[in-house]
């Protein structure tokens, strides 16, 4: 299975170990992308990201367009230079953010009019404008404008929305070709929670030369079981030759189950957001560092972790920082959680290569029994 920019090196069941090439390096997949919404992963420096081995991060078109502005970033040499980010960057189109502003936006065939959440100013995103913004940012992987329908939307609304998303996708791809961009443009699979619409979406997108396909519209309010049901269903329709990206999902268990279904790329704010709230992921499972039981613990957070946090500080000190509201707690916790996520996908890749992925999946499921119980019938 090979394209000029992507090839699958090994598989174990549906799980794949691949290699994705961009202008800023080679990305071994499966991979987790830390979320740097405004060109910064919260609490961490670019040097931190390099140190923990993050080959790609995610930025957001909507937020960077509003502040500081894509034209300013272009004048500064693009987001890589502006933010001193040496790794690859994928930018979300901003569609999810725009459509979450339900009371502040209006959808037309030409695009979407919205008001800034910052100052209320009026803006209009078209498929071509969203491509222009991302090219100004210098993104390695671009996403087209799409509509992420709300959970609970009925069939007629979802079908109408899907037609609009596909019209925008086609316009985006045609314009992207005209710009002769040396980057990658992925398509986005929508279709809500209707199997025939998901399949229709993939058949439509697979007929065009998108560099990869992303699954959107999941983890938007549905149950965990329903999310994994539609993830498995959607993934089964995807072409095997292109990289597959699951947008905005999720927990460690979500990742390993997604990988079992052939997903190659993930992003989610969860590891950094939870780090800032004191919830940390370890080789023994999830812990809340503010609990009293850690007040006098001289143990490292995770004896099996190689990150600076675990190699340097005790659980007692990490708890002290957190309950004292010290800013260092945010950095150390975030550093650890992202190290955990990146190790999770690296270990998954190694298990795929050695043909032991099912054993690896079972091991991770044991760490999160309550969550695993919610999706047991989907495995």
92 is catalytic: yes
Cis peptide before 279 (omega within 30 of 0): no
DSSP symbols for 3-36: -SSEEEEEEETTEEEEEEEETTEEEEESEEE-B-
Contacting residues for 331 by C-beta, under 8 A, at least 6 apart = 43, 44, 48
Confirm if 278 and 46 have CB atoms less than 8 A apart: no
Cis peptide before 30 (omega within 30 of 0): yes
48 is catalytic: no
Return the exposure string of 13-25: e unless at least 16 CB atoms fall within 10 Å of the residue's CB, then b.
Answer: eebbbbbbbbebe
Q: What angle do CA 180, 185, 191 make, to 5 degrees?
A: 140
Which value, to the nearest 10 degrees, does the dihedral of the CA atoms of residues 62, 31, 140, 233 take? -70
Which listed residue (146, 264, 267, 302) is catalytic?
267
CA distance 306 to 96: 35
Decide the pairing of beta strands 141-142 and 88-92: parallel
CA distance 295 to 180: 58
CA distance 75 to 177: 23
Tokens 């809340």, residue located = 288
Contacting residues for 12 by C-beta, under 8 A, at least 6 apart = 351, 352, 353, 355, 356, 357, 358
Confirm if 38 and 63 have CB atoms less than 8 A apart: yes
Handedness of CA 263, 269, 271, 272 (dihedral sign): positive
Which listed residue (48, 70, 92, 146) is catalytic?
92
- Let me know how long the chain is: 379
| Active centre residues (catalytic) | 92, 267
């Amino acid at each position: 299975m090979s394209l000029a920019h992507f090839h699958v090196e090994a598989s174990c069941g549906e799980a794949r170990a691949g290699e994705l090439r961009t202008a800023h390096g080679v990305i071994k997949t499966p991979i987790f992308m830390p979320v740097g919404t405004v060109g910064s992963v919260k609490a961490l420096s670019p040097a931190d990201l390099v140190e923990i081995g993050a080959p790609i991060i995610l930025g957001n078109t909507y937020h960077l367009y509003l502040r500081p502005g894509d034209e300013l970033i272009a004048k500064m040499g693009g987001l890589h230079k502006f933010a001193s980010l040496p790794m690859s960057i994928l930018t979300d189109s901003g569609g999810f953010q725009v459509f979450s502003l339900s009371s502040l936006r209006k959808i037309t065939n030409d695009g979407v009019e919205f008001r800034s959440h910052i100052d209320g100013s009026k803006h209009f995103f078209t498929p071509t404008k969203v491509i222009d913004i991302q090219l100004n940012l210098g993104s390695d992987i671009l996403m087209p404008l799409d509509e992420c329908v709300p959970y609970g939307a009925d069939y007629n609304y979802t079908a109408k929305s899907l037609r609009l998303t596909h019209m925008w996708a086609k316009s985006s791809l045609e314009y992207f070709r005209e710009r002769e961009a040396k980057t990658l443009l992925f398509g986005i699979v929508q279709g809500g929670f209707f199997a025939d619409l998901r399949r229709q979406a993939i058949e439509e997108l697979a007929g065009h030369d998108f560099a990869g396909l992303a699954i959107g519209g999941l983890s938007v309010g549905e149950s965990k079981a329903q999310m994994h049901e539609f993830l498995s269903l959607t993934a089964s329709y995807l072409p095997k030759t292109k990289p597959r990206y699951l947008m905005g999902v999720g927990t460690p268990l979500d990742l390993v189950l997604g990988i079992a279904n052939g997903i190659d790329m993930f992003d989610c704010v969860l590891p950094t957001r939870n780090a800032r709230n004191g919830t940390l992921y370890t080789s023994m499972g999830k812990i809340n560092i503010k609990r009293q039981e850690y007040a006098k613990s001289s143990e490292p957070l995770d004896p099996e972790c190689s990150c600076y946090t675990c190699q340097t500080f005790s659980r007692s000190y990490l708890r002290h920082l957190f309950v004292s509201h010290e800013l260092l707690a945010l950095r150390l916790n975030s550093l650890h959680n992202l190290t955990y996520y990146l190790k999770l996908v690296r270990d998954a890749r190694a298990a795929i290569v050695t043909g032991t992925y099912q054993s690896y999946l079972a091991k991770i499921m044991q760490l999160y029994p309550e969550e695993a119980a919610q999706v047991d019938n989907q495995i």
